[in-house]
Amino acid sequence: MRGGKRCPPRAPVSEMIWSVIGAFFGIAGIYFIGHLQGLHLQDSLFLIGSFGASAVLLYGIPLSPFAQPRNLLGGHLFSAVVGVSFYLLLPEQPMFAAALAVSIAIGVMHYTRTLHPPGGATALIAVVGGDSIHQLGYWYTLTPVFLGALVMLVVAVLVNNLSANRHYPEYWY
C-alpha cells in the first residue's frame, strides 16, 4: 500500500474467463476474415495493433463507455479517415502527419461522441503502417478497420451475452 491507496479488487474468475474467450474469438474472427479475403496476415496487416486494445475494452470491460458500439465503430472509422488524410496530405513529413493524425482524431472522436482510445492507434497506423497500409489509401478505413471492428462487435454481442452476469451493449447509439 503506497500513499494510503489500495489496489482495486480483482475481477471474479468467471469475468476473466469470459474476457479471455471473447478476445480469442474476436481476434480469431478478424484473422479468419483476412484469410477469406485472400490476404496473408503478415503482409496485409489486416489485424492492426489497435484491435488488441479494442479487445481489452470490448471483452475485458464491456460496460465502459469506450467499449460501446458507437464508440468502437465510430472511433475506429473516424480515426482511420483522419489518419489516411494526413498521410496523403503530408507524405514527406511523417512526424507532422503522425502527430496531427492522432491529435485531430482525438478531437474528432470527442466532437462526435465516439471516443475509443484504440482509435488513436488506428490513426497512427494509417501514417506509419508501411507500404501495405499506404497502398490501401482510403480502403484502409473499410478493410481492415471497419470490417475488423464490425467482426469484434458481433463477437462482443454474442460472447458478452452468454453469461447471465454480463450484458452488452449498454447502448447502441
Pull the grid cell for residue 55.
479487445
Question: How many domains are there within the chain?
Answer: 1
Determine, yes or no, domain membership for 5: no
**Inside any domain, residue 71:** yes
pLDDT in tens, the chain (173 residues): 556 788 989 999 999 999 999 999 999 999 888 777 665 555 556 789 999 999 999 999 999 999 999 999 999 999 999 999 999 999 999 999 999 999 999 999 999 999 999 999 999 999 999 998 999 999 999 989 999 999 999 999 999 999 888 999 999 98
Q: Is 92 exposed, middle or buried (0-12, 13-18, 19+ CB in 10 A)?
A: exposed
pTM: 0.92
Write down the pLDDT at residue 39: 59
The pLDDT of residue 173 is 87
Q: Indicate whether 90 belongs to any domain.
A: yes
Cβ neighbourhood burial of 110 (10 Å; 0-12, 13-18, 19+): exposed
Domain of 124?
13-160
Q: What is d(CA 49, CA 44) in angstroms, rounded to the nearest whole number?
A: 12
Instruction: Please report whether residue 51 resides in a domain.
Output: yes
In a domain, 150, yes or no: yes
Rounded CA separation 26/119 (Å)? 17
pLDDT at position 1 = 52
Is residue 37, in this structure, part of any structural domain at all?
yes
78 falls within a domain: yes
In a domain, 166, yes or no: no
